[in-house]
Structure 1
């Protein structure tokens, strides 16, 4: 994935979201009984593989990751350890700067007021907070609406993201990947970008069924 954070990244999406923001492009992730169950150890295995292949970072989104705070803390703590091993001398990513970015729809004060959520986010280098507000579009990089805040939490996060905090994007913000019988879109679309994509596909004789951004 190359659309949610700097460089090439491993993306992990959690299943289940009790916030259910209007206009969300990932409604299919709301149902906590949907998706596929994965153990933390299996996800950390994917992360180690990604580090060995040259990943620049890990992005965790959803759904709402902080609706599973205990599992999220275990995942991010393990990701930090795996990164330390990979960037150590002789490791597959020796000497490289690699960050961990976490998205949540909760506000920072809601995170800090909950012990389990607060424990989970301490392992992230950068936190994007705030519910998606469809009426507040933004061109800010890697944010879906103007109210959302990108908050570096570590020295690594500040070093990698300082230049992006106020950076805007004018072009397409989606990456399209063909899956097994479906098409997956990664990124944070600009207002109207999904509708424009559907129009282009229709002109090419392709009709979407089961689009994740429609009820």
Structure 2
């Protein structure tokens, strides 16, 4: 696990719990999250600990505009740990039913649909997802599609809840992406899917305020 964040408002509809897996062999050029590539990085997140965090998140508000309405799993590459992903989604599903909450489960993966279909473990791992965003990040194919980094990436609802919640966003192109900036323990993290030039503008703006970076995750 690379990090767990609540609330996440820039990777899926509404306020969400976000979990980032650690480790990604895809290493897409231009990836903004190079710190998640190393499989030996991050920290262990047990299913029990995740369940406690998810239960707490589901109790946050009533599910309306102020409540947690979903889970977003990203990375890193979640399908590099298919069994862990399957267990996490199963626990999330069980807990949302226990809480009586229609909280959707969204998974980001750089795998292509054909690669998922050809891999039984990956297919099984994603069986619990309400929606999936698939495809490598391709820096040369920028997009304005919401929650996606390049034009080739696809948002696919997989359940009735997924279709209900994500149908309005399949072709939605907001005027500007929503980004979150979190500062903790001397680190600044940008959550969301920036468009080309956004990270540079953030860096320049902060430099103008006297804030500089020793290193960044979006440069080699």
Shift of 1:182: 1.1
| 1:211 to 2:184 alignment | no
Shift of 1:172: 4.1
Contact map agreement 2:17 2:70 (CA 8 A) in 1: yes
**Counterparts of 1:184 and 1:86 in 2: how far apart (Å)?**
31
Contact map agreement 1:173 1:190 (CA 8 A) in 2: no
SS of equivalent to 1:9: strand
**Counterparts of 1:47 and 1:209 in 2: how far apart (Å)?**
34
CA offsets 1:14-48 (integer angstroms, 9 cap, x no match):
00001000000000000000011111221121111
**Counterparts of 1:193 and 1:38 in 2: how far apart (Å)?**
31
**Counterparts of 1:182 and 1:101 in 2: how far apart (Å)?**
26
Contact map agreement 1:21 1:132 (CA 8 A) in 2: yes
Segments of 5+ residues of structure 1 without an aligned counterpart are 88-92
**Counterparts of 1:82 and 1:197 in 2: how far apart (Å)?**
38
Contact map agreement 1:172 1:193 (CA 8 A) in 2: no
**Alignment match of 1:58 (pick from 50, 60, 71):** 71
Contact map agreement 1:105 1:131 (CA 8 A) in 2: yes
SS of equivalent to 1:100: strand
The correspondence of residues 15-26 of structure 1 with structure 2, limited to 5 A, is: 15-26=22-33
Q: What number of residue pairs does the alignment pair up?
A: 207
**Alignment match of 1:5 (pick from 4, 12, 25):** 12
RMSD of equivalent CA atoms:
0.9
TM-score (norm 2): 0.92
The correspondence of residues 40-55 of structure 1 with structure 2, limited to 5 A, is: 40-53=47-60, 54-55=67-68
Contact map agreement 1:11 1:59 (CA 8 A) in 2: yes
| 1:199 to 2:218 alignment | no
Using the TM superposition, name which of 125-134 and 175-184 deviates more: 175-184
The match for 1:103 is: 108
| 1:147 to 2:152 alignment | yes
The match for 1:113 is: 118
TM-score (norm 1): 0.94
SS of equivalent to 2:58: helix
